[in-house]
């Protein structure tokens, strides 16, 4: 999403915060979104883009809200302190500025349902960072698989177009007349 388009949709950061609030975590999970699908959506701004559009503190404040929802969700004795929330948000922005807001929401949702383990006694910022590192790796793998599937679908679609019956009869006539190229065209494709 370009700056102008994002600004048109969300002229103030508060409007973005409302649209991308922690409730989005559940909706993305329930709708079956994957990191690959979210990365491919142009209307899903990256953390870096949020900083360019509004201010460098906007993605940090938004990340603190998302991480705060994880903090509130857990049943542990020791929660993240405001300083840990701030530092974890800064590290995420520094390490993964290309992650989109939707991907962060999906990551938090997946963490909440136990895909990245659980906390014992205290929320551990390093466990969050380790899980996000794993999520980022999954994102790359899913994006590559998504691209392979799209490429395969394009190839199948291209092959499915085929030729008309009249064109087939012409190729068949040429093959029977000894045309090597026409004979090759009539051979069945080998399985890949």
For residues 37 and 98, state if they share a domain: yes
Query: What range does the domain containing 120 cover?
Result: 3-152
Structural domain count of the chain: 2
Is 66:22 a contact under the CB 8 Å cutoff? Answer: yes
In this structure, is residue 25 part of a structural domain?
yes
For residues 91 and 184, state if they share a domain: no
In this structure, is residue 185 part of a structural domain?
yes
In this structure, is residue 157 part of a structural domain?
no
For residues 90 and 112, state if they share a domain: yes
Q: Whole-structure pTM over 0.95, yes or no?
A: no
CA distances from 117 to 108, 122, 124, 128, 189 (A): 12, 13, 11, 10, 47
| Contacts for 13 with CB less than 8 Å, ≥ 6 apart | 50, 54, 55, 58, 61, 62
pLDDT in tens, the chain (192 residues): 577 888 788 889 999 999 999 999 999 999 999 988 887 777 889 999 999 999 999 999 999 999 999 999 998 889 999 999 999 999 999 999 999 999 999 999 999 999 998 888 888 899 999 999 999 999 889 888 878 888 777 776 666 566 777 888 888 899 899 988 888 888 876 665
Which tokens is 99 given? Answer: 């992650």
In this structure, is residue 114 part of a structural domain?
yes
In this structure, is residue 158 part of a structural domain?
no
For residues 139 and 183, state if they share a domain: no
In this structure, is residue 93 part of a structural domain?
yes
Can you give the length of the chain in residues?
A: 192
């Amino acid at each position: 999403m370009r700056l102008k388009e994002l600004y048109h949709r969300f002229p103030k950061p508060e409007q973005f915060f409302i649209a991308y609030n922690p409730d989005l975590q559940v909706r993305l999970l329930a709708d079956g979104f994957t990191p690959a699908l979210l990365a491919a959506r142009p209307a899903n701004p990256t953390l870096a883009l949020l900083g360019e559009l509004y201010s460098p503190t906007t993605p940090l404040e938004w990340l603190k809200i998302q991480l705060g929802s994880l903090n509130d969700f857990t049943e542990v004795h020791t929660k993240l302190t405001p300083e840990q929330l701030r530092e974890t948000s800064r590290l995420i922005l520094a390490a993964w500025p290309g992650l989109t807001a939707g991907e962060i929401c999906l990551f938090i949702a997946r963490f909440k349902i136990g895909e990245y383990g659980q906390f014992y006694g205290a929320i551990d910022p390093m466990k969050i960072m380790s899980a996000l590192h794993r999520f980022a790796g999954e994102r790359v793998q899913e994006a590559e698989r998504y691209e392979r599937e799209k490429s395969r679908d394009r190839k199948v679609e291209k092959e499915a177009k085929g030729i008309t019956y009249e064109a087939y009869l012409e190729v068949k006539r040429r093959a029977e007349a000894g045309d090597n190229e026409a004979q090759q065209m009539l051979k069945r494709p080998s399985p890949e």
